[in-house]
Amino acid sequence: MKTKSAIKPRNSKIYLYLLPGLAIYAFVVLVPLVMALRYSFFDWSGGPNMDFIGLDNFVALIQDDVFWQSFRNNLFIIIMSIIGQVGIAFLIAVLLTRSWVKWKQFHRTVIFIPNVLAAVIIGFLWSMIYNHDYGLLNYSLNAAGLESWISPWLDDPSIVMASVTIPIVWQFIGFYLIIFMSAMQNIPDELYEAAKIDGATSWKQTWHITMPMLKSTFRVAIMLCIAGNMKVFDHIFVMTGGGPGSSSTVMAQYAYDVSFNRFELGYGSAVSIGMLALSLGLILISQIIGRGEKE
């Protein structure tokens, strides 16, 4: 005889429980997405008049040099973040599994703290660090006798992307650290014990046991890294506003500028749809490469 707790709930009850969450998701995500797609077919500046122009906005988008420059800037941030956020987080996670490392909980907490801070705060703090006249970075370089290294970090188009990427990488290392440390806890200790008996060093254990066992975790981390950095906005907006010129403009910043500074809401919607399509394309490519390496 089945107990009451073992009785499977009816599908109608399951759908009823899911309905509030699905309704919120549809209202917050799906409805704005459909509306943005609709607006992208119009020449619209926010007033009552909306002129249907078909695919003209997307034709202009393909020929828009600033849009593609902003996409390249996003790609730069993504590549640096995969190396910095995912790569450094994995190395730190490996170090924190070593028995000789002390105060592991303290290290995890300190590394994770930037992740809970608002991106606007991070951008403001690093703007002060980068300030050419009174910033901590140039002050430290001057004190160390490296005056030739002093630069206008946020005003030089040749280095501004590297400058704005560093705070983004720094802030989210702790997020991926937690992911890797959680995944490492599921690796059987017997594998490491057998490797030690065979004389494998810590480096060989990491290369031949830890990394292969975390392939799926790496794929998820890279997917999250791409998705997160394709919509990066707050850091750039606070530190440079996309400047100097458009040298540090990212796709979300460009969509904002077109929509709310130039009041081209139809074209801004097209920029947003293009941003979504490119994001999905990059995520799809990363997953195909990940599955191919698994096979």
The pLDDT of residue 3 is 52
The pLDDT of residue 292 is 65
Place of tokens 């707790």: 5
Architecture of the 58-294 domain: Orthogonal Bundle (1.10)
Residue 270 CB contacts under 8 Å (≥ 6 apart), including other chains: 40, 57, 58, 60, 61
In three-state secondary structure terms, 165 is helix
Q: Are 239 and 162 in contact (CB under 8 A)?
A: no
Kindly state the greatest CA–CA separation across the chain: 82
Partners of residue 44 on adjacent β-strands: 50
Distance from C-alpha of 84 to C-alpha of 285, rounded to nearest angstrom: 20
The pLDDT of residue 172 is 94
In the predicted model, residues of the chain with pLDDT beneath 50 are 1, 295
With both helix axes pointing from N to C terminus, report the angle between 265-294 and 215-230 in degrees, rounded to the nearest 10: 170
pTM exceeds cut of 0.95 = no
Token pair, residue 157, equals 């188009």
